[in-house]
Copies of this chain bind each other. A is one copy, B any other.
Amino acid sequence: MMDVARTAGVSPSTVSLYLRRPEAVSPAAGQEIAQAIEALGYVPNLVAGGLAAAGSRVVSVIVPSIRNAFFAETVAAMQTELARDGLQVMLGHSEYSDTDEEALIRTALAWAPAAIVLTGLEHSKGARKLLAAGGTPVVEMWELGEQAPIDMAVGFSHTAVGATAARHFAQQGKRHFAFLGARLAQDRRAAARAEGFVAEARRLGLPEPPVLNHPAPATAEAGAQLLGRVQASLPGLEAVACSNDLIALGVLFECQRRGIAVPADLAVIGFGDLSFSSTSNPPLTTIRPSGDLIGREVARLIHACVHGTRPPPGACIVDTGHLLVERKSG
């Protein structure tokens, strides 16, 4: 920066000022500085800037898995919005482990981020303490429920999603359901969907739906295997709710192989409304969580915090809801 100042014939602080508020500097000086920057290929050092300003323009985002299309969607949307404020996304993935998450939070905090974004409402004790100590704004996303958020939250109720699926099947006159999930022990939001599904079926006076769990990540392969298990053990089954569209996709394929007509013999509902769900055969009935909306809302909240216009507590919890997308599979 000193080089720029020297070649522009001004002082370093003028350059600094120009960089942050170009209109606060005289047009003539501005020209000189712009030229010097161009000529020298100067790139401001944000590390130094962050240190001096006691707060960097970084937003730390921690998701369970970036491979998961849901979170990829959200992160992408969020990044696009955040970039407008000159905010950079630092990414971490916890692989659904609370202890890993805590370590990531610790590292994140070390960067004095403008905000920190977490997935879900459940975190380790240590994580809560770390977050409570600093004045860093924290947004929890992709989940809303009984539990009060640490600070702000954007998401929806997963038990409500499960209930929607159960009600939908009931409306179609189905009575014997099952829930197909993967890694339910790790993925608490999927578990909440299962719970909501079962609870709603019970409330409607229907037979209690069994919950089948696949120990590996949610893939089409898992779905195909789960359908095999379900067929072997539950003869009168009429409908299955899947914790993820990929599982539903596997179910669809396995049904084709076994000659099970969907939805006549077996109704199928997914979750996620992934890109292939409208194109499958039959098209997949699913529940859309609006991952991109979540990303945008999180960004909006952070934008407000950064600009010192933090919304009132009530507006810091935003419910993005969910949407039943009825197609042909159930």
A contact set with B: CB distance below 8 Å = 41, 43-48, 50-51, 56, 58, 65-67, 69, 72-73, 75-76, 79-80, 86, 88-93, 106-107, 109-112, 129-130, 133-134, 219-221, 223-224, 246, 249-250, 253-254, 256-257, 275-276, 278-281
Inside 8 A of A56's CB, which chain B residues have their CB?
A: 47
| Interface pair A43/B130, CB less than 8 Å apart | yes
Given the known interface contacts A41-B129, A56-B47, A129-B41, the answer about A224 and B90 at a Cβ–Cβ threshold of 8 Å is no
Q: Among the listed B46, B79, B278, which residue makes an inter-chain contact with A93, where contact means beta carbons less than 8 Å apart?
A: B79
| Interface pair B91/A43, CB less than 8 Å apart | no
| Interface pair B281/A43, CB less than 8 Å apart | no
| Interface pair B112/A41, CB less than 8 Å apart | no
Inside 8 A of A281's CB, which chain B residues have their CB?
A: 253, 256-257
Given the known interface contacts A91-B90, A253-B281, the answer about A110 and B79 at a Cβ–Cβ threshold of 8 Å is no
Q: Among the listed B219, B220, B276, which residue makes an inter-chain contact with A246, where contact means beta carbons less than 8 Å apart?
A: B276
Most chain B beta carbons < 10 A, residue from A80, A219, A254 = A219
| Interface pair B110/A46, CB less than 8 Å apart | yes
Query: A207: shortest Cβ distance to chain B, in Å?
Result: 29
Inside 8 A of A58's CB, which chain B residues have their CB?
A: 90
Query: A133: shortest Cβ distance to chain B, in Å?
Result: 5
Query: A219: shortest Cβ distance to chain B, in Å?
Result: 4
Inside 8 A of A220's CB, which chain B residues have their CB?
A: 275-276, 279-280
